[in-house]
Amino acid sequence: MSKKRSNYRKDAKNIIIEVKEPDELLSFLLKVMSNRSRNSVKSILARGQVTIDDHIEKRFNYPLKPGQTVTILKNKAAVKQDVLIGMQILYEDEDIIVINKEAGLLSIATEKEKQQTALHQLMKYVKREDPENRIFVVHRLDKDTSGVMMFAKSEHVKRKLQDNWAKAVKERTYVALVEGRFTEKEGYITSWLRETKTHLMYSSQTPNDGLLAKTRYTFIQGNADFSLLELNLETGRKNQIRVHMQDLGHPVVGDKKYGSKERDAIGRLGLHAKTLTFQHPTTNKILTFKADVPASFLSKSK
């Protein structure tokens, strides 16, 4: 491997490479893993074992840029707390698990993907201790949204959290990288959200015409092309932030579904669940968990 192309290092679990020259991801990996066959490298990509900076990337032709960091997970066979693919456990006790999910990882299974999900991996993780252990979904993050997410370890805890979600959750803060320069320092948007037959959400200003959605936003930093916002959800509707940003004329970067023209500006959706504060379902203690703002959000909005 040419030193001009990358800085190459290893740790106990990963191969970590800093990109020095433009390249496509598959081509780059074939050079890094020259001892593996082309099909083997393709399989590693398809299984979600490669991350670019702060997101999982599976596209063979993803364009790499100098300064990006490529990480390859060496061992996928054993799912342990420190070897979960596309997530890190922030907290765990007898009732809940809180994770920091990377962009590109599904929360739950779809028709096309059953195993490479946060739920499936955590289920395998808890079953290592006891085959009877299980994991239950409390809330979800979109595949391309990163950040803090919570799961329950029993049906009882799941129901208790979901039935009291509005009261139990004290703060849900997101950050979004959006298109264009924001002129307002802060604001508040309210609408009623409806869903089309093709599962596209849209806003209505007619009272009670759908589910009420409330989003408060604060400008953090920006330039002529991009703005970084902090958003507090007063309601938790499907695609709420994405629809409200489109309504404001500043769609979330990478969100082609809701009006973004900057699809590949950061190689992912510009949405991240930064903070989750809630009352523990058993101890009643107030807990706060945070996931750092992705570096690509900060650099693009400088």
Total length of the chain: 302
Residues 222 and 292 in one domain: yes
- Residues 110 and 187 occupy one common structural domain: no
| Listed residues 132, 148, 163: the one ending a domain | 163
On whether both 24 and 87 belong to a single domain, the answer is no
Q: What one-character-per-residue DSSP string does 58-105 give?
A: --TT-EE-TT-EEEEES--SS--GGG-TTEEEEEE-SSEEEEEEPBT-
CATH code assigned at 57: 3.10.290.10
Task: Give the CATH number of the domain where residue 265 resides.
Answer: 3.30.2350.10
Same domain, residue pair 136 and 243: no
**Terminal-to-terminal C-alpha distance of the chain:** 33
Spot the catalytic one: 23, 142, 144, 255.
142
- 159 with 172, same domain: the answer is no
Domain-ending residue, one of 43, 73, 103: 73
The domain tally of the chain equals 3
Q: Does residue 238 fall inside a structural domain?
A: yes
Alpha carbons 99 and 80: distance in angstroms, whole number: 14
Structure tokens at 222: 């920006």
pTM for the full predicted model: 0.77
> Do 103 and 32 reside in the same domain of the chain?
no
CB 97 within 8 A of CB 151: yes
Same domain, 121 and 227: no
Specify whether 82 is located in the same domain as 68.
Answer: no
Same domain, 145 and 260: no
Same domain, yes or no: 69 and 92: no
- What is the pLDDT tens value at each position of the chain, 302 positions in all? 444 444 556 555 678 899 999 999 999 999 988 888 898 898 888 877 888 987 888 889 999 999 899 988 765 443 444 468 899 999 999 999 999 999 999 998 776 666 689 999 999 889 888 889 999 999 999 999 999 999 999 999 999 999 999 899 999 999 999 999 998 999 999 999 999 999 999 999 899 999 999 999 999 999 999 999 999 999 889 999 999 999 999 999 999 999 998 778 999 999 999 999 999 999 999 999 999 999 999 999 99
> For residue range 162-208, what is the model confidence (pLDDT) as tens digits?
999 989 999 999 999 999 999 899 999 999 999 999 999 999 989 99
| Sheet of strand 69-73, all strands in order from the earlier edge strand to the far edge | 6-10, 14-19, 69-73, 50-52, 55-56
* Inside any domain, residue 1: no
Structural domain includes residue 217? yes
Annotated active-site residue 247? The verdict is: no
pLDDT of residue 11: 57
Asked whether residue 277 is domain-assigned, the answer is yes
Q: Say if 184 falls within a structural domain.
A: yes
Residues 277 and 189 grouped into a single domain: yes
* Structural domain boundaries enclosing 112: 78-163
**Strand duo 63-64 + 87-92: pairing:** unpaired
Of 133, 163, 193, the one marking the end of a domain is 163
* Statement to judge: residues 40 and 138 lie in one domain: no
* DSSP-assigned letters across all residues of the chain: --TTTEEEEE-SSEEEEEE-S-EEHHHHHHHHTTTS-HHHHHHHHHTT-EEETTEE---TT-EE-TT-EEEEES--SS--GGG-TTEEEEEE-SSEEEEEEPBT-BSS--SS-SSSBHHHHHHHHHHTT-TT---EE-----TT-EEEEEEESSHHHHHHHHHTHHHHEEEEEEEEEEES----SEEEEEEEEEE-TTS-EEEE-STTSSEEEEEEEEEEEE-SSEEEEEEEESS--TTHHHHHHHHTT-PBTT-GGGT-S-TTSSSS-SEEEEEEEEE-TTT--EEEEE-PPPHHHHHHT-
Residue with tokens 């969100």: 255
